[in-house]
């Protein structure tokens, strides 16, 4: 069975190297929608694949980090990156260009790590990320699956190279959230939300 949760965030970026000049040479923004699709062949004690409240618990904190932020590519011009960091408190630096395709791959890998490091407490079994869809516009989206997120042909993604601004990290309830996700520190799901 597959379940789906939709998140929204506002974000700005430049997608260097793309064909559209407006997108490759100018900071511009999108009203993103991110769909995470989880799958399992089992139901938990509440007869659910995975409680939607639990999805909001950690996954929402990561999505919310991108809201009203500017996303930078670590290989973009150093002067540009430094200027953005100087004038914007909410920024994220990625090891890949912030296209919808790469966003879908990154979110897939992050959600996969979150699930792998979650101690299930309500009978959840074998819950996996099935797919992540990132809508950049009303008419365009990118969808990634396991093979896409882990594809060497599309370029490997090192989550360790993602940098969140100190302002974003300070907003997290758990200031060590990103470190815990990266180290896959086992975190129990809350028994009640």
Q: What is the mean pLDDT of residues 23-40?
A: 96
Q: What are phi and psi of 77, to 5 degrees?
A: -55, 130
Our answer to whether residue 23 is catalytic in this structure is yes
Strands (E), the chain: 2-13, 28-39, 69-73, 91-94, 118-119, 128-135, 141-144, 163-164, 187-188
Q: Is 124 a catalytic residue?
A: no
Reply yes or no on whether the pLDDT at 61 is more than 80.
yes
- 93, 101, 124, 136: the active-site residue: 136
Q: Rounded CA gap, 150 and 148, in Å? A: 5
Active-site residue, selected from the candidate residues 28, 68, 75, 160: 68
pLDDT at 168 over 80: yes
Residue predicted with more confidence, 150 or 189: 150
In this prediction, residue 192 carries a pLDDT of 76
Residue 91, strand partner residues = 70
3-state secondary structure at position 141: strand
Q: Model confidence over 2-18: pLDDT tens digits? A: 999 999 999 999 999 99
The catalytically annotated residue of 23, 33, 39, 171 is 23
121-131 residue pLDDT tens: 999 999 999 99
193 pLDDT more than 80: no
Q: For residue 15, which of 97, 78, 136, 76 has the smallest C-alpha distance?
A: 97
Specify whether 28 is catalytic. no
Round to whole Å and give the CA distance between 1 and 12: 34
Residues β-bridged to residue 9: 32
Instruction: Tell me which CATH code domain 39-188 carries.
Output: 3.30.479
Closest C-alpha to 55, from 100, 122, 115: 115
């Amino acid at each position: 069975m597959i379940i789906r949760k939709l998140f929204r965030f506002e974000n700005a970026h430049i997608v260097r190297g793309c064909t559209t000049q407006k997108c490759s040479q100018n900071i511009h923004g999108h009203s993103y929608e991110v769909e995470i699709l989880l799958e399992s062949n089992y139901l938990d004690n509440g007869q659910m694949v995975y409680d939607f409240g639990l999805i909001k618990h950690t996954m929402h904190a990561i999505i919310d980090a991108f809201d009203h932020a500017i996303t930078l590519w670590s290989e973009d011009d150093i002067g540009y990156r430094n200027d953005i960091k100087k004038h914007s408190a909410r920024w994220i630096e990625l090891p890949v260009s912030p296209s919808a395709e790469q966003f879908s791959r990154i979110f897939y890998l992050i959600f996969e790590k979150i699930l792998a490091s979650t101690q299930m407490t309500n009978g959840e079994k074998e819950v996996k990320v099935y797919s992540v869809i990132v809508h950049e516009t009303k008419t365009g989206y990118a969808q990634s699956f396991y093979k896409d997120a882990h594809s060497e042909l599309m370029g490997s993604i090192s989550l360790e190279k993602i940098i969140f601004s100190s302002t974003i990290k300070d907003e997290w309830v758990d200031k060590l959230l990103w470190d815990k996700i990266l180290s896959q520190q086992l975190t129990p799901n809350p028994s009640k939300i």
